[in-house]
Amino acid sequence: MALRPYWKGYLKLSLVTCPVQMMPAISEREKVRFHTLNRQTQNRVVSRYVDSVTGKEVKEEDEVKGYQRGENEYVILEDEELENVALESTRTIDISTFTPRDSIEWIWLDTPYYLSPNDPVGQEAFSVIRDAMAAQSMVGISRLVISRRERAVMLEPRGKGIVLWTLRYGDEVRDEDSYFESIGDEKADSEMMPLVQQLIKKQTKDWSPKMVADPVQERLLEIIAAKKKALKPQKAKGKTASSSSPSNVVNIMDALRKSVAAEKRATK
């Protein structure tokens, strides 16, 4: 079954406009999910909003957004009022700035979406914008309202389409210097470097999604499958704790030499 677009609107660059649609580039639908049940009846447990003072359930039509201005004091905003503050970026991705792709570090990237033409008539305009950015290794910077919140976004050409990344706000990215300042200024040992480089070379592989497989999910699926067959799930075999604690002092050179030697024996 085809997925419904997450968002529909227009991509605009100066006087060039084309209808586009946006789909989430990542999904957690394949993750194992659980429902909360009543152990006694095996029925699902549902959650409801209740009044914090009276304890009575609140009907959906009585739920309203409130901004706290003091203790037990709120400014109430109706849905119509929230919709009226919608910005132009609710329906239009107007590219206002271009910047080299390599000037934006990965730490600023938040959530990816796939952007594609939503009308055959607009494919040419979409392709021109995409290919022009790709030819100059540029990305577009714009703004877009997502879930009633305006976000800065980056548009990056990718194959036939464009990946739209929401960008983190400036106050969300912490300064790395405050975390790395305690690291010394020592340079890498000239004798150790070749050994480490040998290890890196021998352990280098082409990227594959299998490198980031989720072992917890796989184990959960095994347990669920076993439950379905009315079999008890096997207990994970844990390693027996050693009576003697290992020394924290390790000769790095010896460890590297042994690692390189082990790699060489494995390749013979």
| pLDDT confidence of residue 235 | 60
Span 3-22, mean pLDDT? Answer: 88
Query: What pLDDT band is residue 2 in, cutting at 50, 70 and 90?
Result: low
Q: Starting from the edge strand earliest in sequence, which strands make up the sheet with 149-158, in order? A: 92-94, 7-13, 16-24, 109-117, 161-167, 149-158, 138-146, 97-100
74: which strand partners? Answer: 68
Helix axes 192-202, 252-267, angle to 10 degrees: 30
pLDDT (0 to 100) of residue 243: 47
Structure confidence by residue, pLDDT tens digits, 28-51 = 666 777 888 888 898 898 888 899
CA atoms of 211 and 205, how far apart (whole Å): 10
Domains detected in the chain: 7-26+85-167 (2.40.290.10)
Quote the distance between the C-alpha of residue 211 and its chain's center.
17
- The tokens for 216 are 């917890």
Following DSSP, what letter does each residue of 160-202 receive, concatenated?
TEEEEEEE--GGGSPPTHHHHTTS--PPPPTTHHHHHHHHHHH
Band the pLDDT of 134: cuts 50, 70, 90.
very high
- The whole-number average pLDDT for the span 114-126 is 91
Rounded Cα distance, 112 and 163, in Å: 6
Q: What is the mean pLDDT of residues 185-189?
A: 80
pLDDT of residue 241: 47
Residue 193 has φ and ψ, to the nearest 5°, of -55, -50
Among 8-17, 103-112, 227-236, 251-260, top mean pLDDT goes to: 103-112
**Does pLDDT of 9 surpass 70?**
yes
CA distance 215 to 195: 31
pTM confidence score: 0.64
Residue tagged 């390693």 (tokens)? 239
The pair of three-digit structure tokens given for residue 48, joined into one six-digit string? 């409801």
Q: Please give the DSSP secondary-structure letter assigned to residue 1.
A: -
210-249: pLDDT as tens digits: 777 777 777 777 777 777 776 555 565 555 544 444 444 4
